Amino acid sequence: MQRSVEERVCVKDGLRMKKTEGKKLDLKSRVRRIPEFKGVVFWDITTLLKDKDCFRESIRLLAEHYRNKAIDVVVSNEARGFIIGAALAYELGVGFVPIRKEGKLPFKCVNLTYKKEYECDTIEVHEDAIEAGQKVLLIDDLLATGGTVKANIALVEKLGGKIVGIGFLIELGYLEGRKALGDKYDVYSIINFSTTKG
C-alpha cells in the first residue's frame, strides 16, 4: 500500500529505524468511534495500534514529553494500559509495573477497592513492586471520569511511590476527568475528544 508520507531509513544507536517526514500523522482519525458499546460511546484504539506508524508515533510523543523527567518505573492498569505503558517504559529505558484486578497476581499484594460509575472494583499490585521514594510515571490508554487513575494514584502512594507524571493516549475532555485529578500532578494526553462526536 502506498503511503502519503515519505519515509527514509536512518541509523540510531546501531538500529535501523524509519523516520517519517512530510505531514504530521493524524492519530485522532485512527481511533474508531463505536456509538453504542455497553451503553456508552466507546473509543477503540485497536485501529491505531495496528498501524505501525501511528503506534510508534504515539509512544514517541509520550516519551518526548517525559524523557527529561527522573523516572524509575512506569505503572499501568490492565488491560489496554499495559500496551501503552510497557512500550513507553521500554522506550524510556525504565522498569514496568502492572496494576491488576484482584486475584490475578501470584505474590503478596497490596489492594485497593474503589467505586466506579455503577459498581465497585478492587485492584492490586505486588507489595514489593514499588519502593518508597521511587519516582513513578502512571500511564493509561484513556482518561475518562478519572476514577480508575485516582485509584491507581492511591495504590502507588500507599506503597510510598512518588507520582512524577500521569499520561494518556486519549483524554475524553467532555467527561472532565482532568478536573477530578486536580492540579497536583503533571497530566498529559496526546489525543483529546471534546465531545462524544469526537
Residues recognised as catalytic: 80, 117
Whose cell is 501470584? That residue is 106
What is the rounded distance in angstroms from the CA atom of residue 100 to the CA atom of residue 194? 29
Spell out where the chain has E strands: 6-12, 15-21, 32-37, 40-44, 73-77, 95-101, 109-115, 120-126, 135-143, 162-172, 187-193
CA distances from 73 to 154, 155, 156 (A): 16, 14, 11
| Residues 6+ away with beta carbon under 8 Å from 43 | 31, 32, 33, 34, 142, 170, 172, 193
**HSE (CB half, 13 Å, CA atoms) of 167?**
27
